[in-house]
Amino acid sequence: MSDQYSMQDPRTQYPQVSPGEQTQPEPGLDAELQPPADHGEDSYRGSGRLEGRKALITGGDSGIGAAVAIAFAREGADVAITYLPAEAEDARRIASLIEQAGRTAVTIEADISTSAECDRVIREAVEGLGGLDVLVNNAGRQIWTPSIEDISDEQLDRTMKTNIYAMFWLVRAALPHLEPGSSIINTTSIQAYQPSPTLLDYATTKGAINTFTKGLAQQLIEKGIRVNAVAPGPIWTPLQPSFGQPKEKLASFGEGVPMGRAGQPAELAPAYVFLASQESSYVVGATLPVTGGGITA
């Protein structure tokens, strides 16, 4: 277990992941990930920074979204998470951690690749939480392909709809519920700046998410709503072994960044807490990189 608070060398704060060979169907499960990822279950300490907030996190069942859900709950927020039908086991685990923090957990099974489902997600989150003031657009899919010629119409459509269309749909549906002081946080990626040749469709959506964030931020600050993004580097989550990377690349996952290791979901949560909380009142339209030193310019 890592300690997130004592001063130490960040290079060795978490072990080198060195994953063995593994493949999961899409979407992957945290329950099947080897080695298991660290979402801050045993380490994250809240200090009331989100007391009374009502947050929706898409894809909060696993990976980065799960770490954010745990941190938000321990900071005092009630939390709704979305998950896909195959992810019920992961979603239940995170819901019970939210409840153990003394907060309300709302779980919404939904595929967000249609506007009707995005409308329903917002409706159920607002009903379950009794309002909404933090929206974390985190769900995403990443399927590697060797060449543009291998990207089928279906894959292109599904990646675009899940990763970027859904952000338009969810924000549009959420807006009537968001009071001044609300915060929207979008998960982009280092792929927006350094696209891997094998992740062409995915990286394109991540570039779009950055631009969407900057434009939307200017629009919504006129309502007192702040919009920002977080750009993770290589993070050990079920996205990677479920066709997110070629199998042979998995063994050295994350070694290419200056930190020399993959990040853990737990290392992302504080960035989202900062952007959700009132402490970041003057931060608008920003992308906060959490990349282990990978350059985002």
Taking the C-alpha atoms of residue 285 and residue 113, their distance in angstroms, rounded to an integer, is 25
Residue 138 interacting partner from ligand NAD, Mg ion, none (CB closer than 5 to 8 Å by kind): ligand NAD
Using the rule CB under 6 A, give the single segment among 4-12, 15-23, 82-90, 280-288 that binds ligand NAD. Answer: 82-90
The one of Mg ion, ligand NAD, none whose footprint includes residue 65, by CB under 5 to 8 A per kind, is ligand NAD
Q: Determine, following the binding rule CB under 6 A, whether residue 138 of this chain makes contact with ligand NAD.
A: yes
Which CA distances in Å does 208 have to 163, 212, 213?
Answer: 9, 6, 8
Active site positions, annotated: 202
To the nearest whole angstrom, how small is the minimum distance from the Cβ of residue 68 to ligand NAD? 9
Rounded Cα distance between 128 and 13, Å, is 37
294 binds ligand NAD (CB under 6 A): no
232 binds, among Mg ion, ligand NAD, none (CB under 5 to 8 A by kind): ligand NAD
Kindly list the strands in the beta sheet with 105-109, ordered across the sheet, starting from the edge strand earlier in the chain.
105-109, 78-83, 54-57, 134-137, 183-187, 226-232, 287-290
- Binding of ligand NAD at residue 65 (CB under 6 A)? yes
CB 150 within 8 A of CB 246: no
Binding to ligand NAD in span 170-199, by CB under 6 A? 187, 189
Q: At what angle do helices 269-276 and 63-74 cross, to 10 degrees?
A: 50
Angle at 277 between CA 168 and CA 107, to 5 degrees: 55
* C-beta contacts of 149-152 below 8 A and 24+ residues apart: 151/200, 151/201
Q: In Å, how far from its chain's centre is CA 43?
A: 19
Which region holds residue 78: left if phi is over 0, alpha if psi is between -120 and 50, else beta? beta
Question: Residue 61's closest CA among 183, 267, 237?
Answer: 237
* Residues 135 and 170 sit within 8 Å (Cβ to Cβ): yes
In the block, residue with structure tokens 């291998």: 150
Q: How far is the CB of 27 from Mg ion (least distance, A)?
A: 5
Site for ligand NAD in 16-55 (CB under 6 A): 27-28
**To the nearest whole angstrom, how small is the minimum distance from the Cβ of residue 54 to Mg ion?**
22
| Interface characters, 84-113, with ligand NAD (x: CB under 6 A) | x--x----------------------xxxx
Compute the Cα dihedral for 97, 102, 107, 112 and give only its sign.
negative
DSSP, res 114: S
Interaction between residue 68 and Mg ion (CB under 5 A): no
Closest CB 257 distance from ligand NAD, rounded Å: 11
> Residue 145 interacts with Mg ion (CB under 5 A)?
no
CA 170 from chain centre, in angstroms, equals 15
62 touching ligand NAD, by CB under 6 A: yes
Q: How far is the CB of 114 from Mg ion (least distance, A)?
A: 19
Please report whether residue 61 would count as binding Mg ion according to CB under 5 A.
yes
Judged by beta carbon distances under 5 to 8 A according to partner kind, the member of ligand NAD, Mg ion, none in contact with residue 162 is ligand NAD
- Residues within window 233-292 making contact with ligand NAD, judged by CB under 6 A: 234-235, 237-240
Least distance in Å: CB of 128 to ligand NAD?
Answer: 17
Residues lying near ligand NAD in the complex (CB under 6 A) are found at 27-28, 58-59, 61-65, 82-84, 87, 110-113, 138-142, 162, 187, 189, 232, 234-235, 237-240
Residues lying near Mg ion in the complex (CB under 5 A) are found at 27, 61-62, 87
